[in-house]
Amino acid sequence: MQKTFFKLYADLHNATYKDSDPLKSFLFRTKQHAIIIFFIASQNKKQSTLEQICYNISPKVISRSTVQNILKDGVKINFLEKKLNDKDKRSKYFSLSKSGINLLENWASQQSETFENFKRSA
């Protein structure tokens, strides 16, 4: 169990401190970053509007302006893509880029392996 927790600690610590991958660093920069990214990833077509994000995530957890800044930064580093909503031109969809999806899938796979090893050693 100690090895599993150390692996989780090292992965999260390195992602925010040592990791040279700007996408992984972005994902784990703050708890709010991770919440927003995982929320978008959980949605249909892995996309969401600013309004949907703000409606579903309590303002006690993340303020609207913080959500906007995180989305803007995510687009800037190509973790997210911003697309115009064809039905409502005032609204924009934020979706995971291909590189963002790849990062999340690889990370989830690594965590799955970590927990499988944990179950085997328990």
Q: What is the pLDDT of residues 37-73, one digit of tens each?
A: 999 999 988 999 999 999 999 999 999 999 999 999 9
Confidence of residue 122 (pLDDT cuts 50, 70, 90): low
What's the rounded Cα separation, in Å, for the pair 74 and 65?
Answer: 14
CA proximity to 57, closest of 84, 39, 34, 80 = 39
Per the listing, tokens 């929320």 go with 39
Mean pLDDT, rounded, for 82-110: 91
Percent of the chain with pLDDT over 70: 96
What's the rounded Cα separation, in Å, for the pair 20 and 113?
Answer: 23
CB atoms within 10 A of CB 36: 24
Q: What is the pLDDT of residues 74-93, one digit of tens each?
A: 999 999 999 998 888 888 99
Mean pLDDT, rounded, for 16-29: 82
Confidence of residue 15 (pLDDT cuts 50, 70, 90): confident
Overall pTM surpassing 0.85 (yes/no): yes
Would you state the structure tokens that stand for residue 45, as one six-digit string?
Answer: 């077509």
In DSSP terms, 96 is beta-bridged to: 80
The answer to whether residues 112 and 4 touch, using CB atoms and an 8 Å cutoff, is no
Domains delineated in the chain: 2-116 (1.10.10.10)
Distance of CA 56 to the CA centre of its chain: 15
| Residue predicted with more confidence, 13 or 71 | 71
Average pLDDT in the chain: 90
Quote the pLDDT of residue 18.
Answer: 64
Show the beta-strand stretches assigned E in 1-122.
Answer: 47-49, 80-84, 92-96
What's the rounded Cα separation, in Å, for the pair 50 and 25?
Answer: 22
| Residue predicted with more confidence, 9 or 31 | 31
